[in-house]
Chain A
């Protein structure tokens, strides 16, 4: 990032409208960003309650609290809500708030469509959560909704699930188109592509992934709908179709989806670490190329989720080696973060703590991913708690920690007030310990053979499961500190400066805190 000319005009021609219509009719990227973030928080707490229901049942072997069918509904809804309701909208909310401010744009490229992207989501999730109260119960086939569980053996509510997924897809595609158009078209003069903050770069690539794979998800649920209601046989071998076809199409969406949930996290961490190390990001260009490489590889590794399903040997080998390749660009990133910190003047405010934990814990998740990538070894790990441990390590201390880090990092810019640092640190340490206590033991029970998605288990897994449940409640309850801290940050006046952080660089820190309702009506000049 070059030095910035301090002639940024922050023209205030009109503030927000009053009352509820401000939120219903808004075209303002900051309003829409805030709505995305609040919605995501709500979904995070709801999905979290479902996770705690699961952990409560698993505290002891045997069935204590619920029917197996309800347990299956909980695992399904927990996964769907966390992926589509919590993590994805949180990143879109952050993009809405920050991308225009980081590139010197007046707003998003297509502001009305932006609001439509958001408002579809609450309705889609109302419909999805409503399936819990329908005859036959909610979807119970896991968030991956494999056929024939989701077709031949599905409860009737699957139809509503399908249409809810369609709505989320429409929302995501429109949101992604908006972000791409904004980044490509609304950069301030002088903001060349290779000067873009890394958060913007990662989101550009994420948006491309979204536009490429959300339609494929729409396609696969449409084929399900046809199989269930209109007599086709896409996923039924009796008609010449193949249930494995479902898995191929689903994971062609599903694997890039995994990177949709982690690339923006890479971007966030790449913003935060330089700030608190008070050094420029090490290897900016290599970060950009690594992100692009990961996005490319995302399209050619999908079948590593299906090693045990029956594939030609050549397929197993191709997908194994392609998957292992991903470790290279990911390694580039981790080394760059470490090198950024090397001999930096480090301080450890809450955003930095979460970012550091991200680097360490995400790397653990990455390594267990490498273990799973080895096809012959995966025959042992497949569908065990080891897989659960793996993807929770990349999603909770990965995606979620990065979102929390971003919230603490930019909260003073959004509200104009500093959050409570002491409470932030308590939140961090409780989350850090809670996350590891919850998910680390899952590696052990998984390697010992405990299957996933099961409400009861053999006695030898009891101790580790009890520990994991205690950790889960610790983690879950400590998130209330975040809610309290955010609310207090809005209410208690503890004015923040424009720059907020001593080492922060970028256009967003040149505007006052809180950022005015309209920033950069005239584009700033970036040198």
Chain B
């Protein structure tokens, strides 16, 4: 443990402003979604949501700029660095648990709930609600096909998803190559490998969008298509959002490298983003396996 003094920032207005922005977003989103469901037209709440989101973006840019400047001014000791490392690690752990909730839901319905609906198990009453319902996975025929019309087909894992797997796995390699270049202080190659990583991320998102269009327009695989569609979209959707955020983070790092930030010794922001990127990658492997293939 170091004995040099630990940097405690003076007052900051970012936290209270960010709380206000978050509040506006939550109020706006709540009103917006409620109006949407009641088919009332968005009204003011859509605007409040946008203002909140815009404000939060501006605040986060300002807050991060603040932190970057402090770091570049050499105000952070090794101990501060360790705090950021712990912080990022536990943040990623919380993200893992967020996905665990949805994976847990998927496993529960696949192995227990749907078979029970189809009459499996020793209770003998489980098939009473929808007699004749047959358990299957992917669930193509839902118990109530009028309320939840099941999909005509599901996504073929060996086309777009396989391509996306290749894309994302290679992006994990390129980000590692960028890190190696950074440690060797090979600035040109950092830029190139990071650009490749961002590009792979963007192409992944593009194909994911293509897949959604295919699902909605051709396969009848929608949010409303019963439990298969629900678990499919919540898992791939949140993963897609995380890839988008990760790509954005990589882009920020890319710009910072271009501006001459980071040294071979001190570059935690880079590492944090690459940790995040690997995490997103690992989640994808889980998705590919349990959502698409099996």
Tell me the smallest distance from the CB of A281 to a CB of chain B, in Å: 25
The digit string for A305-335, where 1 denotes a CB below 8 A from any CB of B, is 0000010110000000000000000000000
In chain B, what residue has the closest Cβ to A239? B148
Q: Per a CB cutoff under 8 Å, which of A26, A160, A225, A238 touches B144?
A: A238
Query: Is the beta-carbon distance between A116 and B18 smaller than 8 angstroms?
Result: yes
Q: Which residues of B contact A296 (CB under 8 A)?
A: none
Query: Is the beta-carbon distance between B101 and A216 smaller than 8 angstroms?
Result: yes
Query: Is the beta-carbon distance between B33 and A159 smaller than 8 angstroms?
Result: yes
Residue B217 at the chain A interface, CB threshold 8 Å: no
Query: Is the beta-carbon distance between A216 and B11 smaller than 8 angstroms?
Result: no
Query: Is the beta-carbon distance between A173 and B108 smaller than 8 angstroms?
Result: no
The digit string for B147-172, where 1 denotes a CB below 8 A from any CB of A, is 11000000000000000000000000
Q: Which residues of A contact B100 (CB under 8 A)?
A: 215-216, 219
**Partner-binding segment picked from B24-32, B180-188, B196-204:** B24-32
Q: How far is the CA of A185 from the CA of B77 in the complex (A)?
A: 12
Residue A413 at the chain B interface, CB threshold 8 Å: no
In chain B, what residue has the closest Cβ to A107? B8
Size bracket of the B interface:
35 or more
Q: Per a CB cutoff under 8 Å, which of B16, B37, B227 touches A24?
A: B16
Query: Is the beta-carbon distance between A167 and B142 smaller than 8 angstroms?
Result: no
Q: Per a CB cutoff under 8 Å, which of B5, B86, B222, B230 touches A234?
A: B230
Query: Is the beta-carbon distance between A245 and B113 smaller than 8 angstroms?
Result: yes
Query: Is the beta-carbon distance between A213 and B97 smaller than 8 angstroms?
Result: yes
Residues of chain B in range 122-150 having any CB-CB distance to chain A below 8 Å: 122-123, 129-130, 139, 142-144, 147-148
Query: Is the beta-carbon distance between B94 and A211 smaller than 8 angstroms?
Result: yes
Residue A69 at the chain B interface, CB threshold 8 Å: no
Q: Which residues of A contact B234 (CB under 8 A)?
A: 222-223, 226, 232, 234
Residue A37 at the chain B interface, CB threshold 8 Å: no
Q: Per a CB cutoff under 8 Å, which of B33, B87, B98, B104 touches A109?
A: B87
In chain A, what residue has the closest Cβ to B81? A185
Residue B82 at the chain A interface, CB threshold 8 Å: yes
In chain A, what residue has the closest Cβ to B29? A163
The digit string for B1-41, where 1 denotes a CB below 8 A from any CB of A, is 10101101111111110111011001101100110111000
Q: Which residues of A contact B104 (CB under 8 A)?
A: 248-249, 252
Query: Is the beta-carbon distance between B19 and A120 smaller than 8 angstroms?
Result: yes
Residue A21 at the chain B interface, CB threshold 8 Å: yes
Residue B95 at the chain A interface, CB threshold 8 Å: yes
Main DSSP-derived SS at the A contact region: helix
Residue A170 at the chain B interface, CB threshold 8 Å: yes
Q: Which residues of B contact A156 (CB under 8 A)?
A: 34, 38
Query: Is the beta-carbon distance between B33 and A225 smaller than 8 angstroms?
Result: yes
Q: Which residues of B contact A22 (CB under 8 A)?
A: 11
Residue A166 at the chain B interface, CB threshold 8 Å: yes
Query: Is the beta-carbon distance between A17 and B11 smaller than 8 angstroms?
Result: yes
Size bracket of the A interface:
35 or more
Query: Is the beta-carbon distance between B34 and A159 smaller than 8 angstroms?
Result: yes
Query: Is the beta-carbon distance between A233 and B142 smaller than 8 angstroms?
Result: yes
Q: Which residues of B contact A137 (CB under 8 A)?
A: none
The digit string for B251-272, where 1 denotes a CB below 8 A from any CB of A, is 0000000000000000000000
**Partner-binding segment picked from A141-149, A176-184, A352-360:** A176-184
Residue A379 at the chain B interface, CB threshold 8 Å: no
Q: Which residues of B contact A522 (CB under 8 A)?
A: 3, 5
Query: Is the beta-carbon distance between A185 and B97 smaller than 8 angstroms?
Result: no
Residue A164 at the chain B interface, CB threshold 8 Å: yes
Q: Which residues of A contact B222 (CB under 8 A)?
A: 231
Q: Which residues of A contact B37 (CB under 8 A)?
A: 228-229
Residue A58 at the chain B interface, CB threshold 8 Å: no
Residues of chain B in range 79-129 having any CB-CB distance to chain A below 8 Å: 79, 82-84, 86-87, 90-91, 93-95, 97-98, 100-102, 104-105, 108-109, 112-114, 116-117, 121-123, 129
Query: Is the beta-carbon distance between B105 and A233 smaller than 8 angstroms?
Result: no
Tell me the smallest distance from the CB of A25 to a CB of chain B, in Å: 4
Residue B228 at the chain A interface, CB threshold 8 Å: yes
Q: How far is the CA of A123 from the CA of B16 in the complex (A)?
A: 10
Q: How far is the CA of A222 from the CA of B223 in the complex (A)?
A: 14
Q: Per a CB cutoff under 8 Å, which of A214, A225, A252 touches B94?
A: A214
Query: Is the beta-carbon distance between B11 and A27 smaller than 8 angstroms?
Result: yes
Query: Is the beta-carbon distance between B13 and A25 smaller than 8 angstroms?
Result: yes
Q: How far is the CA of A199 from the CA of B50 in the complex (A)?
A: 43
The digit string for A108-119, where 1 denotes a CB below 8 A from any CB of B, is 011111011011
Q: Which residues of B contact A133 (CB under 8 A)?
A: none
Q: Which residues of A contact B5 (CB under 8 A)?
A: 106, 521-522
Q: Which residues of A contact B26 (CB under 8 A)?
A: 123-124, 127, 160, 163-164, 166-167
A-B contact pairs, 7 of them (CB 8 A): A27-B10, A185-B79, A185-B86, A223-B102, A225-B33, A226-B230, A523-B3
Q: Using a CB–CB distance below 8 Å, which chain A residues touch chain B?
A: 17, 21-22, 24-27, 105-107, 109-113, 115-116, 118-120, 122-124, 126-127, 156, 159-160, 162-164, 166-167, 170, 173, 176-178, 180-182, 184-189, 211-216, 218-220, 222-223, 225-226, 228-234, 236-242, 244-245, 248-249, 252, 310, 312-313, 518, 521-523
3 tightest Cβ-Cβ pairs between the two chains A and B: A219-B101, A239-B148, A240-B227
